[in-house]
Amino acid sequence: MYAFLVTLLIIDCVLLAVAVLLQAGQGGGLASLGGATSDMVLGGRQTVTLLTTSSKWLGGAFLVLALAVSLVAVNRSGGDSEVAKQLQTVPQAPKPLPLKTTPTPGTTSTPTTSTPAPTGKSAPKGIK
């Protein structure tokens, strides 16, 4: 079903491109805005040709086929992807750290070597 819809969509794309490219342009573009008559600015009355009708129908078919392919592709995938499965799993919360720890016997919580604060002549001014 999916391959059939994609094939129809590709054929529709090619036919739509051909129908749009074969249409005669209206001409003028933005250059026609400077002093042209209202018929020329608004496009005038134009006969509906086979190409304009076919481009409208092929454009509508493109929209319908693109929607159908997207719906079939969701059902075709067989559920969630690996990324979606990983996102759905709830990670376990890490164990909280204790607020206060007591040192184990035989260890000290302060460093063993410390340097004394400078005093006397080497101390900064104001500290004795």
- The domain limits of the chain are 1-24+49-74
Q: pLDDT tens digits for 35-93?
A: 555 445 555 555 578 888 999 999 999 999 999 999 888 777 666 677 777 777 777 77
Mean pLDDT value across residues 2-22:
92
For the chain, give the mean pLDDT. 74
Q: What is the DSSP string of the chain?
A: -HHHHHHHHHHHHHHHHHHHHHSPP---GGGGGTT--HHHHH----PPPHHHHHHHHHHHHHHHHHHHHHHHHHHHTTS--HHHHHHHSPPPPPPPPPSS-PPPTT--SS-S--PPPP-GGGSPTT--
The answer to whether the pTM exceeds 0.75 is no
